[in-house]
C-alpha cells in the first residue's frame, strides 16, 4: 500500500463502501486481528459490526494498554474514515506495524448489532 493510500480512500470506495467491506473480510481472515471502532460510545450503541471493539478516538491511548503487542493486526474504522485515519496515524507513531484504516461504517453491507 502506498503511503498516500494509508489515509485516503478513493472516491469510488466512499460511494460503494468497498473499503470497509473488503477490510472486514481481511479482519475476519487474519488470525489474532482486532477490529476497532473509533466512534463515540453513543454512535457505537446505535449499530456496530459484530466482534468489533469500541475505543473512541478521544480514548485511543487505551489501545496501548489493551493491545500492547505492536505486531497485533489492527483494523480501524469510524463513520466515514476520517477519525479512523487519525487513529491509524497515532497507532503507527506509537509503533504498531500492522494497522489498517478500513474506512466508514456508512458503506458497510453486512450484519450490524444494536
Check 35, 78, 87, 102 and give the catalytic one.
Answer: 78
Q: Which of these, 38, 33, 54, lies nearest to 103 by C-alpha position?
A: 38
Q: Which of these, 49, 106, 47, 39, lies nearest to 78 by C-alpha position?
A: 39
**In 3-state terms, what secondary structure has residue 79?**
coil
* Residues 36, 52: Cα–Cα separation, whole Å: 6
* Residue 78 falls in the annotated catalytic set: yes
Q: What are phi and psi of 52, to 5 degrees?
A: -75, 160
* Residues 53, 84: Cα–Cα separation, whole Å: 13
State the catalytic residues. Answer: 78
Amino acid at each position: 500500500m502506498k503511503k498516500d493510500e494509508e489515509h485516503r480512500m478513493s472516491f469510488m470506495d466512499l460511494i460503494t463502501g468497498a473499503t470497509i467491506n473488503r477490510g472486514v473480510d481481511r479482519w475476519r481472515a487474519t488470525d489474532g486481528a482486532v477490529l476497532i471502532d473509533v466512534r463515540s460510545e453513543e454512535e457505537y450503541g446505535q449499530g456496530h459490526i459484530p466482534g468489533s471493539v469500541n475505543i473512541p478516538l478521544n480514548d485511543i491511548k487505551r489501545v496501548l494498554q489493551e493491545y500492547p503487542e505492536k505486531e497485533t493486526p489492527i483494523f480501524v474504522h469510524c463513520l466515514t474514515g476520517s477519525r479512523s485515519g487519525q487513529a491509524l496515524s497515532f497507532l503507527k507513531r506509537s509503533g504498531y506495524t500492522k494497522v489498517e484504516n478500513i474506512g466508514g461504517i456508512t458503506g458497510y453491507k453486512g450484519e450490524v448489532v444494536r
